[in-house]
Structure 1
Amino acid sequence: MTGLRVVIVDDEPIARQALRRMLLDFSDIRICGEAGSVDEAERLINDTRADLVFLDIELYGESGFDLVPRLDSKTAVVFVTAFNQYAIRAFEVNALDYLLKPVAKDRLAQSIRRRRKQQKLQPRLTLAQDLSLEDVIFVQNGKRRCWLALKKLCLIKASGDFTVLHATDGISGMVWRSLRQWEKLLPQDQFMRIHRGMIVNVNYINAFESVSGQRLKLYLTGLAEPCIASRRITPQLRKLLL
């Protein structure tokens, strides 16, 4: 297996040294360098074409979040910080993982395994571009983070500022994206917004029935509860399903 090219970004030399020492125990990790600022990190990561960046969030008046949009979408980011209040925002920018200092060896190993799996699957994890059915999405499920394959996605449901994703294999989780954003990203020939709070994968509609108010009740593969389409979208759904 080709070694992972890794860059460490932290404004504290002692913290960089501690992480470097831990990473040396992994035989397939190749540490390409260290940086203490956003600009320095951007140059180093681009020059080395790093596969994985361990990134501190608070960097002497800068934020590690400022670096993320300046990186290639193929570069995975693991945030390493002493503060847990940034976890939701890290999740929002699709970080591969979020490690709290002092970093535990088993959690570091888990992050590396995730990156190896990610490379094997070759997914595009950024949500800044259109998605294909070969992509996977990183979702939050309680305290766990997991991969959800887009080709198995059957339902997206609005939940405040988040959306909840459900897959036919039972995997579910939250993403900080609106339904409007999902509409722009998902393949339009397969996903349909059936009312203001829900998008379904029409390929997983395995049964339906009429209900009061000239609406349709949809039964989706992998879901126990049916979904109700709005009156406005029901005629379009009938033409598609009949």
Structure 2
Amino acid sequence: MKTRLGALLVDDERLARGELRTLLRAHPEVEVLGEAADVDEAIQRIAELDPDVIFLDVQMPGASGFDLLSRVELRAQVVFVTAYDAHAMRAFEVNALDYLLKPVHPQRLRATVERLLKHTTPAPTPEAGRPLTAEDHLFLSADRRARFVRVSDIACLCSAGDYSELVTRDGQRYLMTRPLAEWEERLPERQFVRIHRGTIVNLECVERVEVQSDEGFHVHVRGAGNPLPMSRRYAARLKVRLA
């Protein structure tokens, strides 16, 4: 484990970058490598500096912090620094690395640094447990790549023991620490339906359903690759939803 993390500060407000840099001086474990005032400059700095962590403002002129994560593949961990209130934090609640509300409190920053150094799972946001909407975003990371995905862009979720595998419309797969039962409780029920004890699908991504045998069916879902099994127990429920 590295004992010193290289950081990039991305914020369109020079004063905000300066305040955060000052607060980070109390944490010698973190070295500020550079700053960026917008997304284009941040992309250049990421390529030049290869930071371990990016302190990223969400709302910036021209392009947002969301846009940055959709344009680059990141090795770095991401900490959001935002003036959004707790309600707006729904955008970050699933698998988020961490967030800081402006003005940044020194004790809260200390907790963030400790989590970065230990590579532990961040504490849940104030919105954890709330139902998700189709327009909410999930922050997902895998294989040194990080991206935001709309809930409506989830194609399906499959059980993976105590975890679950999330598959997007474009076929990307992410192992999530949340069990399938929790996803079923929180996903929009008008859009997502369980087709098997171990599978939830997005109705908008269902391409066709084939009778497999007397035992059940195969459901072809965009992005999933192989067809997904559906038991007769759940077939009637899907038929009603697709009608």
Bucket of the pairwise TM-score, normalised by the shorter protein = 0.5 to 0.7
Would the aligned equivalents of 1:148 and 1:172 in 2 still touch at CA under 8 Å?
no
Cα shift at 1:232: 0.9
Q: How many residues align?
A: 169
Is the alpha carbon distance of 1:186 and 1:9 closer, same or farther for their aligned partners in structure 2, counting shifts above 3 Å? farther
CA distance in 2, matches of 1:175, 1:9: 35
- Please tell me whether residue 179 in structure 1 is matched to residue 180 in structure 2: yes
- Please tell me whether residue 80 in structure 1 is matched to residue 81 in structure 2: no
Q: Which has the higher contact order (CA 8 A, sep 6+)?
A: 2
CA distance in 2, matches of 1:220, 1:191: 12
Would the aligned equivalents of 2:12 and 2:36 in 1 still touch at CA under 8 Å?
no
Would the aligned equivalents of 1:158 and 1:164 in 2 still touch at CA under 8 Å?
yes
Map residues 184-203 of structure 1 onto 2, 5 A cutoff. 184-203=185-204
Is the alpha carbon distance of 1:225 and 1:213 closer, same or farther for their aligned partners in structure 2, counting shifts above 3 Å? same
Structure 1-normalised TM-score? 0.56
Give the letter aligned to residue 162 of structure 1.
Y
Post-superposition Cα deviations, 1:200-242, rounded to whole Å, max 9, x if no partner, equal: 0112111111122342210011222100112211122233335
Post-superposition Cα deviations, 1:17-39, rounded to whole Å, max 9, x if no partner, equal: x65x546x3347xxxxxxxxxxx
Structure 2-normalised TM-score? 0.56
Post-superposition Cα deviations, 1:58-115, rounded to whole Å, max 9, x if no partner, equal: xxxxxxxxxxxxx93646527435976534x23x748xxxxxxxxxxxxxxxxxxxxx
Would the aligned equivalents of 2:193 and 2:238 in 1 still touch at CA under 8 Å?
no
Is the alpha carbon distance of 1:189 and 1:212 closer, same or farther for their aligned partners in structure 2, counting shifts above 3 Å? same
Cα shift at 1:146: 2.4
- Please tell me whether residue 160 in structure 1 is matched to residue 122 in structure 2: no
Cα shift at 1:188: 0.3
Would the aligned equivalents of 1:51 and 1:74 in 2 still touch at CA under 8 Å?
no
Runs of 5+ unmatched residues, structure 1 = 29-49, 53-70, 95-124
**Percentage identity across aligned positions?**
23
Would the aligned equivalents of 1:140 and 1:175 in 2 still touch at CA under 8 Å?
no
Runs of 5+ unmatched residues, structure 2 = 1-10, 39-55, 59-84, 90-97, 101-111
SS at match of 1:137: strand
Cα shift at 1:169: 1.9
Cα shift at 1:160: 2.3
